[in-house]
Amino acid sequence: SSECIKCIDNYYIQLGQCTQNNNKCLIQYGNNCLSCKDGILSDGLCYTYDEINCGLFTYTCRKCGDGYYKEEHSCVSKEQYSNCTHISVIEKSCVHCENGYNLEDGKCNKKAVQNEYNLYLKYTNMNIKANSNETHNCFELTESGCLRCLDGYYLDKMTCKKCEEPCVKCSNQTYCTGCNAYSNNKDGTCEEINSLIEVCEVMMSTYTGCVKCEDGYYKSMDGKQCNKCDISCETCMNEKMCLSCSENYYQSNSHSLCLNQNELIHCANKTRSGCTLCEFGYFIYQNECQKCKDNCTSCDANEECSSCEDNYILQNGECLIYSSLDNCISSSYSKCSQCAKNYKLNDDQNLCVKQNKYFLYIGIPVIIVCIVIIILTIIILTLFVLIFKKKEEKKMTNICVFKIKRSNVTMKKLDNDILVNKSDLSFNENDVKIPVEQSTRELLCVGTQGKGNMKIQITTRENCDEYDIRTEPKIVTMKSGYACEFEIFITPKCTLKTQDNFVIVSLNLLTGITTMTNFPFSVETEESTKLNYKELIEEKVLGEGSFGIVYKGTFRGNVVAIKKMKQSGNESLKSGDLSEFENEVSMLDKFRCEYIVHFYGAVFIPNKVCMVTEFALYGSLADLLKRMKTDEVCLQLRLKMMRDASKGILYLHSNGILHRDIKPDNILVFSFDVNETVNAKLTDFGSARNVNLLTTNMTFTKGIGTPVYMAPEVMQQERYKKPADIYSFGITMFECFSWENAYPSNQFKFPWKIAEFVTGGNRLKRKQISEQLFDIIENAGNRIQKIERKLKKLINYYLI
């Protein structure tokens, strides 16, 4: 059943239904009319002007018709006051009669004809005498009686009567217009000031009124009195407007006064603010409950449904019969619950979509395959666990764990509950030095005491680049009173002699406490060319090239040249650069010739890669060519340096090695004294290769050397052989003997110009060189003669 919340014109709501207004009423509330169509509103009813005998009406009757006088709300016939000219509305009696009539008890009586004057005097005198106690308080007296009384008196049937205390002025016996100093006038009644205190929160300083009223009261129009609010109001603005409601009343947006909460229908939770929770099927609108749309069991303030009755589904905020959804055959909980055959609900349950049978054709086989895979996985994992356990058991068979009390091993307390059989560990048993880059083994027994099982592990410090240490077993769990024999393997990466510590880490499985204890060990290796970078001291930079930087430094008291390979940041050397470096180190390590620079060793530790050779005090031959004049270096010294270099080349060739980069830069000068055994030595063997390798399966695919010193066959990419080294040495001799560049830069501005000159069959012309020396140079460039014979001829040449 539905209830009306708003009616059309000329109707009002009564018990949830629209009822027609009373006749003549425009707006009606209950049985009372609030506004009339045409006429006068009085006491909730509508009247015509004639019905109330009104002659002039403006909002209210201003003047009555003939034969009627005006009362407060209506016009009354003068018939009961015949012969009266003035009628008192308050006294409801005549106050002045027509001529020829006397006023007696509020009525007009005809005067006697004879001796009228004497009778009047007689009557008047008697009247004055009879009422002497009252009329002497009259302020204005007429023949009809008193018209106005003195203060403190009121007019009652033409006589003055005293006002009742505490009134000092009054208009009748019950209505005061003025009060004494101890009272306050409130709506025609004098009340004691004490009663004013009860309703005033803040009183005027004159005690004649209130500045602020207590809750439940409002200021009167005169601004002094506090009148009680309507019973529905807890606080109010005036008699017709509540600010907050009393208990069991609520604030309504359509009424200024609060309404009784009993009028809140279909409300589950009633408050002074109105309804906060409605029954199912209703929603809150302006603090009251309004009915939802049809078939809704719940909805929101926008009248959109949130749940529906049975057999209805929710679609876009409305409840529709489930059959309105294609292929839906039943519903529940405001959604379609079942679709027709071959259809199924979508994920949102708001549509019936055609059902594909992919599951039967694809899903089931996939599930079967998955089950098979899972079974196989379980089998494989089981086998893996069994194999792992087998390995662990096998590993434990190789691990020596023994009970301390039953062994002859003497254990010492190291720290807390850790026991060891040695105070320190030495890898140099019987003072025998261990080899570099080979593992050396030592044994250490570690045991436990105290409560609980203990897990033991041996570790080394981080970032150790001088050696590697590994242990077997890596970790072991032991009971209290047991010990394990650990195998400790050390692999030195370079020549070293050091004392260091490794760490014994123990975890008590009962207490969860982890303890780390340092254990000392010492190691000394055999001498090798793999140097420890900590023994090198760099002093200053000697030069820099694409390969790296050369420093002057010291190594074990010897002045050395340290060739440090270039590396960017923390990156390691590229494989090609490292391979070339290792090749040069390998070559130098094999050489045992006084005409080849002495090789101390190399550092292979990442980020520290370098090579250490003996230091040449005077630098290279190229340095001398740049900084010394031709007359500063005698010919005898030049010949001696070339002889030393030729002996170095002969040593290389006799051992099947090609230098491939012979030039003044790679001939180091150690002395200017021609009587010294050795004045110059060969260096830089990064490009050197085995002759057999080059001549059998390798052609020139990479430009090794400097174009100035390249042989023609090298430039033409032919096989690299020994004559190529001799050709480079011939150009070097040419520059040494002439003490100038073989190819001046003003004639050969670009390197390829040199290549064009050489491959074109051209040769250098003799200048500032003797014919005898130039002949040796020419023979060095001749590819037909045997290389060894050329070298021997050069070495046996008389230098002086």
Amino acid of residue 658: L
The pLDDT value given to residue 314: 87
Is residue 203 within 8 Å of 196, Cβ to Cβ?
A: yes
pLDDT at 688: 66
* 0.85 exceeded by pTM: no
pLDDT value of position 732: 92
Structure tokens at 42: 């009085």
Torsion of CA 133, 137, 142, 146, to 10 degrees: -90
Q: Report which residue type is found at 477.
A: T
User: Is position 105 annotated as part of the catalytic site?
Assistant: no
Domains of the chain: 11-109 (no CATH), 138-192 (2.10.220.10), 292-354 (no CATH), 401-524 (2.60.40.10), 529-567+576-615 (3.30.200.20), 619-799 (1.10.510.10)
d(CA 669, CA 479): 70
- 277-298: b (≥16 Cβ within 10 Å) or e: ebeebbbbbebbbbbbeebbbb
3-state secondary structure 675-738: CCCCCEEECCCCCCEEHHHHHHHCCCCCCCCCHHHCCHHHHCCCCCCHHHHHHHHHHHHHHHHH
Distance CA 2, CA 104 (A): 67
pLDDT computed for residue 540 by the predictor: 92
Residue stretches of the annotated binding site:
564
Q: What is the dihedral of CA 392, 396, 397, 402, to 10 degrees?
A: -160
Annotated active-site residue in 230, 417, 577, 661? 661
Q: What is the pLDDT of residue 703?
A: 42
d(CA 157, CA 147): 9
* Residue numbers belonging to the annotated binding site for ATP: 564
Please, what are the averages of pLDDT over each run of 10 residues along the chain (800 residues)?
80 84 84 81 78 74 77 74 76 76 76 49 44 62 76 82 87 84 78 77 79 88 84 90 91 88 90 89 88 87 84 87 88 88 82 78 86 95 90 75 89 87 89 91 91 89 86 89 92 91 90 90 91 92 81 93 74 64 81 90 89 92 92 87 88 86 93 90 75 42 64 83 86 91 88 87 84 77 46 51
